[in-house]
């Protein structure tokens, strides 16, 4: 009996794979994503048979993996089949809102006029035989405004596999939103996840702003919104314990300018390095100058190897004031200053700068990735201070 069930399931999945391959010319990414999701769906439903927990799932999936591996190669081995299961369980509403498991007995490729409004039909009338109607699915999805957790034509299986590494729905939502907004390549998405962009932004935000990250992504409306804590400069190839100067750091960042711009965030355009400014014959050289397209302001970045001092802050204040009076043009907003240092004293920053300061900010930088445990511990400590009514929003 078990062998017969595996054979039936095997034939269904073969049909899905063949249909997906037939639709490659139309949309390879979407076809693969939907195919993998449907494979996960078939396995889950066969394992559970309507029960809350599977009774013989491990043996079934192992036998299935052997057969599919022999037919289609390593892409359908045990590890990937388990990923497809996780994908279906994690993104249960990928193709639309569902009540419980898939709607049975309806055709995926011939939805009725209101079929997609009621929820996408996920099974075909003849199991495993229907093609995956990628244009039809995308057309139906375009009729609704996209939101995290739903299928997006620019998200490939590589992207979804990266999202699955997080067990937190809010974090997955954040990265989906940021990917869609910024059109990251798969490599850049991997880097942003690996360097815990969400956690670093959360630590830099006001309490209520943390809750917005999962809903809207990174929204830049004020200078403080561009701040990350810490900034991770692992791409500069400077070892954590290696002795290096501010000039070494500056040179390394310029050599990796594209990566540095991506780490800084959205909207940065490079203006120059060591841009000289002169005050009564004395020359000063801000390390790096950028222009932020969204905020419409100059951003001066100073690099400090070691602890930030009151003198460093005073110098930055001078740079910001100079740019406001001598460089800023019509339509530009006031200049912003960003101090990147290995260590800072928040009390010193508070007393050197006005309490209402919204122009100069200090953030630590790391030349290697901070531990995920440490970032999560800091984030939990911040969230624990939120009042209950704010958390529930």
As a whole number, mean pLDDT of residues 242-263 equals 76
pLDDT for 87 equals: 95
| Mean local confidence (pLDDT), 312-328 | 90
The predicted structure's pLDDT at residue 322 = 92
Pull the structure tokens for residue 258: 């594209």
Tell me what percent of the residues of the chain surpass a pLDDT of 90.
12
The region of weakest confidence among 72-76, 248-252, 276-280 is 248-252
As a whole number of angstroms, the longest Cα–Cα distance in the chain is 92
Number of residues that make up the chain = 393
Residue 382 is predicted with a pLDDT of 54
Nearest partner of 319 among 268, 367, 271, judged by Cα: 271
Euclidean distance between CA atoms 144 and 227, whole angstroms? 33
Name, in order, each residue with C-beta under 8 angstroms of 271's C-beta and a sequence gap of 6 or more. Answer: 289, 290, 291, 298
Query: Cα-flanking dihedrals φ and ψ of residue 114, to 5°?
Result: -110, 15
Distances (CA, A) of 29 to 45, 152, 184, 186: 24, 10, 15, 13
Distance CA 90, CA 165 (A): 11
Q: What are phi and psi of 273, to 5 degrees?
A: -115, 145
Work out the average pLDDT over 114-132: 41
- Token code pair at residue 154: 């620019």
| Whole-angstrom distance, CA of residue 13 vs CA of residue 85 | 13
Over 70: is that where the pLDDT of 127 sits?
Answer: no
Asked if 293 contacts 264 with a C-beta cutoff of 8 angstroms, the reply is no
Mean pLDDT across 345-371: 71
Q: How confident is residue 109, by pLDDT bands cut at 50, 70 and 90?
A: very low
Structure token digits, residue 280: 């009564």
Measured from the Cβ of residue 389, the count of other Cβ atoms closer than 10 Å reads 7
What does the domain layout of the chain look like in residue ranges? Answer: 1-90, 228-371
Position 185 scores a pLDDT of 78
Q: Range with the lowest mean pLDDT among 134-148, 208-222, 350-364, 374-388? A: 374-388
What confidence category does residue 380 fall into, taking pLDDT thresholds of 50, 70 and 90?
low
Question: Which pLDDT value is given to residue 387?
Answer: 52
Distance CA 327, CA 374 (A): 41
| pLDDT score of 333 | 92
Q: What pLDDT band is residue 121 in, cutting at 50, 70 and 90?
A: very low
Q: Is the pLDDT of residue 362 over 50?
A: yes
Q: Whose CA is closest to 48, among 34, 35, 60, 33?
A: 60
Class of domain 228-371: alpha beta
Q: How confident is the model at residue 198 (pLDDT cuts 50, 70, 90)?
A: confident
Structure tokens at 264: 């800084």
Return the pLDDT at 205: 67
Q: What is the pLDDT of residue 300?
A: 92
Mean pLDDT of 377-393: 54
Residue 220 has pLDDT above 80, yes or no: no
Q: Check residue 91 and give its pLDDT.
A: 93
Instruction: Give whichever of 34-38, 239-243, 342-346 has the largest mean pLDDT.
Output: 34-38
* Locus of tokens 């780490």: 263
The answer to whether the beta carbons of residues 333 and 369 sit under 8 Å apart is no
Across 44-48, 110-114, 359-363, least confident range: 110-114
- For range 210-219, the mean pLDDT: 68
Query: How many angstroms separate the Cα of 319 from the Cα of each of 109, 308, 361?
Result: 62, 16, 13
Helix 372-384, helix 207-216: angle, nearest 10: 120
Joined together, the tokens standing for residue 116 give 């997609």
pLDDT digit string (tens) for 269-315?
A: 898 888 888 888 888 989 899 999 888 999 999 888 777 888 888 88
pLDDT of residue 84: 94
Number of other residues whose CB lies within 10 A of the CB of residue 14: 16
> Which of the two residues, 137 and 248, has the higher pLDDT score?
248
CA 372 to chain centre: 15
Q: What is the chain's mean pLDDT, rounded?
A: 75
pLDDT at residue 264 tops 70: yes
- Among 30-34, 37-41, 58-62, the minimum mean pLDDT is found in 58-62
pLDDT in tens, 168-193: 888 898 889 888 888 887 788 888 88
Tokens of 111: 């939805």
């Amino acid at each position: 009996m078990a062998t017969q069930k595996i054979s039936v399931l095997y034939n269904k999945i073969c049909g899905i794979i063949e249909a997906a391959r037939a639709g490659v010319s139309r949309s390879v990414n979407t076809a693969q994503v939907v195919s993998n999701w449907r494979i996960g769906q078939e396995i889950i439903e066969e394992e559970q048979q309507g029960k809350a927990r599977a009774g013989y799932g491990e043996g079934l999936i192992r036998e299935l993996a052997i057969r599919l591996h022999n037919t289609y190669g390593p892409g359908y081995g045990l590890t990937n089949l388990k990923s497809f299961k996780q994908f279906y369980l994690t993104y249960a509403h990928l193709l639309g809102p569902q009540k419980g498991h898939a709607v049975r007995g309806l055709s995926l490729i011939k939805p009725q006029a209101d079929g997609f409004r009621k929820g996408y039909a996920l099974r075909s009338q003849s199991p495993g035989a229907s093609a995956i109607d990628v244009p039809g699915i995308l057309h139906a999805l375009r009729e609704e405004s996209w939101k995290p957790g739903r299928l997006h034509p620019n998200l490939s299986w590589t992207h979804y596999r990266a999202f699955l590494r997080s067990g937190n729905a809010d974090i997955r939502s954040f990265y989906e939103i940021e990917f869609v907004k910024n059109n990251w390549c798969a490599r850049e998405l991997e880097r942003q996840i690996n360097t815990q962009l969400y956690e670093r932004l959360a630590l830099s935000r006001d309490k209520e702003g943390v809750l917005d990250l999962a809903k809207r992504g990174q929204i830049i409306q004020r200078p403080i919104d561009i701040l990350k804590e810490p900034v991770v400069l692992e791409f500069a190839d400077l070892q954590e314990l290696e002795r290096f100067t501010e000039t070494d750091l500056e040179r390394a960042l310029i050599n990796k300018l594209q990566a540095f711009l991506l780490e800084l965030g959205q909207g940065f355009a490079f203006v120059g390095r060591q841009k000289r400014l002169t005050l009564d014959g004395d020359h000063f050289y801000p390390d790096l100058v950028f222009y932020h397209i969204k905020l419409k302001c100059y951003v001066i970045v100073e690099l400090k190897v070691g602890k930030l001092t009151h003198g460093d802050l005073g110098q930055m204040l001078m740079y910001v004031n100079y740019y406001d009076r001598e460089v800023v043009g019509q339509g530009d907003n006031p200049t912003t200053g960003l101090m990147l240092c290995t260590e800072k004293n928040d009390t010193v920053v508070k007393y050197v700068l006005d309490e209402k300061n919204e122009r100069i900010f200090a953030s630590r930088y790391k030349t290697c990735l901070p531990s995920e445990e440490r970032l999560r511990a800091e984030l939990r400590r911040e969230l624990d201070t939120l009042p209950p009514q704010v958390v529930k929003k």
